[in-house]
Chain A
Amino acid sequence: MSDARIRDVVLETRGLTCGYDGGVVLEGINLRLARGEFVGLIGPNGSGKTTLLRGLTGVLRPLEGDVVLEGRSLRSYPRREVARRLAVVPQMAPAPFEFTVREIVQMGRTPHLGRLQGERAVDREAVRRALELTETAAFADRPATELSGGELQRVVIARGLAQESPIMLLDEPVAFLDINHQAQIFDLLARLNAEEGRSILCVSHDLNLASEYCERLVLLSGGRYVTDGPPEQVLTEERIQGVYGCRVVVDQGPGGHPRVTLLSERTQGHDAGTEADP
């Protein structure tokens, strides 16, 4: 939080309240993303993470409060201008039409191109790079309808990269990926963050991935802000047990970040047994 005050704030919500058809899902959120920051957005299912992302991008209009992008209200920007500054990698919904992987990634260039303008060299280069970074180049000319869930997810990430915007918001980008690709994607995000200074806000339900990669975590619960700070402040046993309602042990992982281990009923029983009988 203190860090965010010193660096420029690129994206900010001020008392943001959002919801669907009368029901309020998210209430009074104040969130700040500083330039070059890598923030994880965590919280149990239904805590409002995806809704916050929708509010931040203007898909949902705020019921109260405002979203500020680079110092100006989001509402004052034309959509194209927002898309040039801010790329979103949503959770994947399958496309009913057979675009190739390359065509889908090319669509990331939409906010940079005029109506009748063809792809320029700079656009082709952005697409080539995005395909390469996500290791999707190998199947670039296959229809997206033939891909596995994990491959498709990397394609959606590639499209977000091709957009080449300084801010990236990702909604569970590794939800369907196996661990090697989870690491690959998060390593990639970390590199983009460190080398190019992209500001990243990433929704994650995997607390250990968030802890390993993010410099700051924001914890939501029941549509409200709970706390934020470096992983070691946010990920404590009491807080996780309080918010998620399950028993965990938090110790230190090999990288020095907090490591959260879920305790099963069996382990808990065993645990209790040893305590009772020293």
Chain B
Amino acid sequence: MRRRPLLVFVALAALLVATMIASLSMGAAKIPPAQVGWEILSRLPGLSSLDPGLSQTQATIIFELRLPRTVLALLVGGALAVAGVVMQAFFQNPMAAPSIIGVSSGAALGATIAIMFGLQFYVMGLSAIPVVAFISALAVTALVYVLSRRGGRTPVGVLLLTGIAMGSMCSALASLLLVTGQDPQHLDLDRVVYWMLGSVAGRSWTHVQMILPYVVLAGAAIYLFGRDLNVLLLGDETAHYLGLDVERVKLLLLTFSSLLAAAAVAVSGVIGFVGLIVPHVMRIITGPDHRVLLPAAAIAGGVLLALADLVARTAAAPTEIPVGIITSVLGAPFFLYLLHRRREYGL
């Protein structure tokens, strides 16, 4: 099943371009894909002489509504997938993922606190919401890790159950804040629903700007640890023998992966299963070497979420389905299939 990295990346790049064009052309106002392509090319430097013949409204739909939403879906999906890859190596456990071990819910609680208490300040031009979400996600990850360690290993059953408990707790608290924090006359349950189910509906360039620096920074930092992640999969003791400062590397990886999950959650709520499915499928295709797996999972995760979002906004139009519903409908059976196959891990 393993494919050459070059082939994988060419295929992923093609898929990425196709997904973007589909995502920009489909919706309430249909714009032919070819025109979308021309329009984008005409915005590139040196190609301004091209004229695809789009109206001002159509251009606005593409660049102010659909493009930021698509870019955000790509960023969020990529961040969740990479966080999933890292957490699976970190826990030496193929069932770990941000939404499964409670980290996403932890980030959601942090983001909710930041939003409801009006902590929408900026630090050096960077939004504080992802930072608060990050602190809370990091705390949850650390707690789940400590609570599910048994004699130097992390048994899959204990990890999942600890994650469920922590996740439920955080979701409940976040919902409580959202319900009680609002004006009772105009209780907006939609907001709670969208937040808890995960959605990128109505997101703008502001949201892209809000998480872009964090996603790029944490993603690049994690890539530097590609070889270390490989070695960690052989177990802490072997990693130690191969020269890793295991505790320090794990702390850094925990920090960066929580930052990715938190950035994703801060703009889109809790979107489940992307961080589980994508690492698994990509690992089958690229093999487990993180130096290939990490970038491949980043692109594939983005594409998956952008496609899911396309379905979310077109399937039942004009009703928007929260994209988290789509990923969960796809992801939950996949999770069950993994549980079935992974009997050997003691479940």
A interface with B by C-beta (< 8 Å): 54, 57-59, 78-84, 87-88, 90, 93, 95-100, 103-104, 107-108, 110-111, 113, 115-116, 163
Q: Which residues of A contact B227 (CB under 8 A)?
A: 110, 113, 115
Is B12 an interface residue when CB atoms closer than 8 A count as contact? no
Q: Verify B237–A83 contact, CB threshold 8 A.
A: no
A107 lies within 8 A of B245 (CB): no
- Given A97-B283, A115-B224: 9 more A-B contacts, CB < 8 Å: A58-B240, A95-B234, A96-B345, A97-B94, A97-B288, A99-B287, A100-B287, A107-B231, A107-B234
Which residue from A82, A97, A113 sits with its C-beta under 8 Å from B233? A97
Contact mask B223-248 → A, CB, 8 Å, 1/0? Answer: 01101001101110110111111000
Can you list 7 A-B pairs with a CB-CB distance of less than 8 A? A79-B240, A97-B283, A98-B287, A98-B288, A107-B242, A108-B242, A110-B242
A4 to chain B, nearest CB (A): 24
Measured as residues with beta carbon below 8 angstroms from the partner, the interface class of chain B is: 20 to 34
Question: What 9 A-B pairs are tightest by C-beta distance, nearest first?
Answer: A83-B243, A111-B243, A88-B241, A80-B243, A97-B288, A110-B242, A79-B245, A79-B243, A97-B233
A44 to chain B, nearest CB (A): 23
Instruction: Give the residues in chain B near A97, CB-CB below 8 Å.
Output: 94, 233, 283, 288
- Alpha-carbon distance A110/B283, docked complex (angstroms): 21
Contact A79 B224 (CB under 8 A): no
B244 in contact with A110 (CB, 8 Å):
yes
Q: Which residues of B contact A83 (CB under 8 A)?
A: 241-243
Within 8 A of A (CB), among B148-176: none
Chain A positions within 8 Å of B225 at CB level: 115
B92 contacts chain A at the CB level, 8 A cutoff? yes
B51 is an interface residue with CB less than 8 A from chain A: no
Minimal Cβ-Cβ distance residue in B for A110? B242
Main secondary structure of the interface of A (DSSP, over half): mixed
**Are B240 and A59 closer than 8 Å at their CB atoms?**
yes
User: Given the interface contacts A103-B289, A107-B234, does A87 sit within 8 Å of B241 by beta carbon?
Assistant: yes
Residues on the A chain within 8 Å of B328, using CB: none
The answer to the question of B58 belonging to the interface, with a C-beta cut-off of 8 Å to chain A, is: no
Residues in B with CB closer than 8 Å to A103 are 230, 287-289
The smallest C-beta distance from A105 to any residue of chain B, in angstroms, reads 12
B93 within 8 A of A: yes
CB 8 Å contact bits of B324-345 with A (1 = contact, 0 = none): 0000000000000000000001
Closest residue to A111 on the B side, CB-wise? Answer: B243
A104/B245 in contact, CB under 8 A: no
B99 to chain A, nearest CB (A): 21
Which of A57, A93, A116 touches B240 (beta carbons < 8 Å)? A57
Chain B's closest residue to A100 (CB) is B287
Return chain B residues, CB-CB under 8 Å to A110. Answer: 227, 231, 242-244
| B242 in contact with A84 (CB, 8 Å) | no
Q: How far is the CA of A97 from the CA of B289 in the complex (A)?
A: 10
Query: B234 — which chain A residues lie within 8 A by C-beta?
Result: 95, 104, 107
Minimum CB–CB distance for B134 against chain A, Å: 24
Q: How far is the CA of A57 from the CA of B345 in the complex (A)?
A: 29
Within 8 A of A (CB), among B194-249: 224-225, 227, 230-231, 233-235, 237-238, 240-245
- CB closest chain-B residue, reference A83: B243
Instruction: Find out whether the CB atom of A111 lies under 8 angstroms from the CB atom of B242.
Output: yes
Question: Which residues on the A side are within 8 Å of B237 (C-beta)?
Answer: 54, 59, 90
CA distance A59 to B227 in the complex (A): 20
B243 touches A99 (CB 8 A): no
Determine the distance from Cα of A256 to Cα of B345 in the docked complex, in whole angstroms: 48
Closest B residue, CB atoms, query A82: B243
Give the distance in Å from the alpha carbon of A163 to the alpha carbon of B233 in the complex.
18
* Across-interface contacts of A88 in B (CB, < 8 A): 241
Q: Is the CB of A95 within 8 A of B233?
A: yes
- Docked complex Cα distance between A82 and B233 (Å): 20
Q: Which residues of A contact B345 (CB under 8 A)?
A: 96
User: Which one of A54, A84, A90, A98 contacts B243 once the chains associate, using CB atoms below 8 Å?
Assistant: A84
Contact A90 B241 (CB under 8 A): yes
Identify which of B230, B234, B245, B289 gathers the most chain A CB atoms within 10 Å of its CB.
Answer: B234
Nearest A-chain residue to B93, judged by Cβ: A96
**A82 to B94, alpha carbons, bound, how many Å?**
30
Structural contact, A79 and B244, CB atoms closer than 8 A: yes
Chain A, residue nearest B249 (CB): A79
Question: With A97-B288, A100-B287, A115-B224 in contact, is A57–B241 under 8 Å at CB?
Answer: yes
In the bound complex, do residue A163 and residue B242 qualify as a contact, i.e. CB atoms below 8 Å apart?
A: yes
Chain A hits for B231, CB < 8 A: 107, 110
Q: Which one of B233, B241, B244 contacts A99 once the chains associate, using CB atoms below 8 Å?
A: B233
The smallest C-beta distance from A120 to any residue of chain B, in angstroms, reads 14
CB distance from B160 to the nearest CB of A (A): 15
Closest to B284 in A: A98
Cα of A78 to Cα of B288 in the assembled complex, Å? 27
A162 to B289, CA, bound (A): 18
**B92 and A96 within 8 A (CB):** yes
Query: A84 — which chain B residues lie within 8 A by C-beta?
Result: 243
Contact residues in A for B289 (Cβ distance below 8 Å): 99, 103
